[in-house]
Structure formats: structure tokens, C-alpha cells
Amino acid sequence: MTEFKEFKLPDVGEGLTEADIVAWHVKPGDRVEVNQVIVEIETAKAVVELPSPWDGTVARLLAEEGQTVDVGVPIIAIDVAGSPDSSERSSVPAPATESAPAAGETAGQPKPQPKRQAVLVGYGVKASSTTRRPRKTATAPAATAPAATAPAAMALAKPPVRRLAKNLGISLAELAGTGPGGSVTRDDVQRAAGDTRVRSVSAVVEDRARTGLQERIPVRGLRRHMAAAMVSSAFSAPHVTEFLQVDVTETMAALRRVRDLPEYAGVRVSPLLFAARALLAAVARHPLINSSWDGDAEEIVVKHYVNLGIAVAAERGLIVPNIKDADALTLPGLARSLQALTETGRAGKATPADLAGGTITITNVGVFGVDAGTPILTPGETAILAFGQVKDTPWVVDGQLAVRQACTLSLSFDHRIVDGALGSAVLRDVGSMLEDPIRILAWT
């Protein structure tokens, strides 16, 4: 006897409402076991592997790779005949067509609005079927024929206007003058020249699109979430960015000594470790930098713990996983956490829990050979520090010119919470600790 169960897309955390099907690991006819990974989905937070909740045989895949599916909508049907748990039964109907109205409906009558239904995990969703997001296609603008005008035997225009028209290749006879007595003015000629250039550029763009020289990349999952978050942050929090060039010669010397210590065996120790420790010490000295803005309550929420976000350039887009309670870690513990979180993020294995709850962020733009930048705040945070590349730089030391290792620090902050004095104090403290690492010990 055939017994089907439909596995509905669950809310994997954070109250998400939809996900994209990335890759199926099974196909119709395959045997599956409980907890066997059957599909990879991409949410607004991360790529997640979903296991099978039952033993059985795959009857049908109800969503295709690349589809966006609402939470609570069935994505796979499994024949569980003979399995211990077969209390839930449902047939797997063939895909419905839209050629005829459903029973009980009459043509012209609007369909009743679907009601929200309960789901086993997360929030209720609208009862709907999976739908593929329509592909956007470039459409050529409809050509409109200009109204024909009878050319005058001799257009009225002053000599400078005639000279301008000749230089621009514009025929005065084809222009309707707006000057006194219907004369053609300089503005008429320039307007006609501008229209000609716009038509020319438009033609080039359309031609390039037709010849395949343009590519359209769907914006989904992590990239869509990142884009929305950056727009929201940039246009809700008034950003201010300050810069400070720092002599980090002593920090680089300390870094080389730390690498040789047995506590750091097997750990990749980079200058980012000292920058992160310096930022944590600065937060302890200036707690307001580690806060958030609650607009509804009209309050500033100061966090007396630090979940340190690390900006990671993953294959699917920018993500910011965070080290929970980073301020409570020892330096070796912080080094291991930095390495583990970075590797997990780059591999696309960061979980929604890794990405949630950050309080302040650091981004290492120096690994890309960049000196500085104006980083955008992670939504819900007040500050982000960019650590630039370390390079040999001419530097004045005790009145003498010398070659030192230097880098540029960039601190962006929310000006609703942090004024220039506080932002400058935080940046100056981080710079002072990187100039002389002993201050990290003295200030913590």
C-alpha cells in the first residue's frame, strides 16, 4: 500500500518566511533514511542542509532547484509505506493547471484570499504553491515616430546659432523655433543635440544587450539579504567615518613572537588578532560604542557584552558571523575563534546562530591590498572598524626619517549615538594600543 508524506519547508530560525532551493541530494526513486541530508536551501542568513524526517522512497520533488519557496509549503513527497510512523497520509496530486476554474468557482468571480495556516516550526505562512520568480528580460523601448513638420524654406536664426547648429550637425530646417517670431534659439539647438545623443546611447545599449555582452545575475538568498541590509543601514543611520594612520612596527614584532609560542600551535595568527583585541579593550573603556538605537522606545541600548562581528567575503556574498562573548576570551582563545569563524564563513557553513546577535564589527580590508575604506554599519550596531594593509612607510621617529610598518584604521559610527569626541577617542585608543601593544595589557 502506498502511503505518502509531504515534507514542508521549515523555518530554520530567526522567523524566516522563505528560502531558495539550492541543490537536491536525492531524486525520485531514491531510498532515504531518517536524518539523511536531502536538500540544501539558502535563506536570507545562510545555506542550510535539511535532513529527511522519515524512512522511505522519494516519490516526487515538489520544488525545483532555484525556486523560492514559502515556509510551510511542501517541497518533497516521500512514500513511507511500511515505516513505523505513517500516521500522516496525503496523496501527491499532479500539478494543477489553470485552464479551468476550480469546483465551486464561477468565471469572473475573485478567488477567496488564502488564510494563514499553522506550521510545525516558526511562524504561520500563507497557503500557496511554490512559484518560480519570473525572470526579468530586457525589452526594447517602443519606437515612436516624431511628428512630421514641414521644413521652412529658410529657418530664422542668428548667425551664432547657425554656427552652433552646423558644428553639432543639426539641421535648422527640422527644428520648431521657440524664439521671437518662431526663430530658432541656442537652447533649441542644444536640446536637439541632446536628444540625438540620448537616442544614440540607447541604441548602443540595446545592441549590446542583443549581442550577449550583458549578463543578468539573479539576486537571491544571502546576496539579497546583504543588499537590503546595506541599503537599510546606509539610509537609516547617519554614518560618520574617521581615519587614523598608525605605526604598527611594535605590534608586528610582537606578532612574530606570539607565533612561536606553544599556545598558538596550529593557529594562524595575523595582525587582525591584535586589532580585534585592541577594539575589545576600547569597548571596555568606552561602552557606548557597543550599543544600538531603539527608535520605537526612543532609547539607546548599551550592551555590556561583546559579540564581535567579523566581515567575511563568502562565495555567495558578504556575511558577518560573530564571536559570542569575545570580550571574555583569552588571546589564544580569540585567535582560534577568529580562525574557525573565518574558515566556516568562507566555506558557506555559517549557521543562522553564527550570524545573529552581533554588537560591533571589524573588517580586514588589508587582505585585499587596500589602505582604507568607509565601511557601512552592520544593521543594529553602532560602529565598525576597518583594518587596512600593513606596509613599509616613511615615518618620522625622534626627529629622524625612518622606514616603519604602518596601516590606516577607519572607524564608521552612528552619529545619533556617538559624537565626534567619543568616536575620536575610540579610534585613538585602538591606534595607541597598536602602536604599543603593552597598552593592551595595561588597559584590560
Q: At a CB cut-off of 8 Å and minimum separation 6, what does 235 contact?
A: none
Question: Are 313 and 366 a contacting pair, CB within 8 Å?
Answer: no
Q: Which of 25, 239, 286, 415 is catalytic?
A: 415
DSSP code for 127: -
* CB-neighbour burial class of residue 439 (10 A; exposed 0-12, middle 13-18, buried 19+): middle
DSSP code for 325: T
The sign one gets for the Cα dihedral 321, 322, 324, 329 is positive
How many helices (DSSP H) and strands (DSSP E) are in the chain? 9, 21
Q: Can you tell me the distance from the alpha carbon of 6 to that of 355, in angstroms, rounded to the nearest whole number?
A: 30
DSSP code for 44: S
415 given a catalytic annotation = yes
Kindly state the cell numbers that stand for 150: 514641414
Beta strands, E only, 63-149: 68-70, 74-79, 116-117, 125-126
Question: Are 316 and 47 a contacting pair, CB within 8 Å?
Answer: yes
- DSSP letters spanning 234-287: HHHS-EEEEEEEEE-HHHHHHHHHHHTSGGGTT----HHHHHHHHHHHHHHH-G
Question: Are 317 and 219 a contacting pair, CB within 8 Å?
Answer: no
Residues with catalytic roles: 415
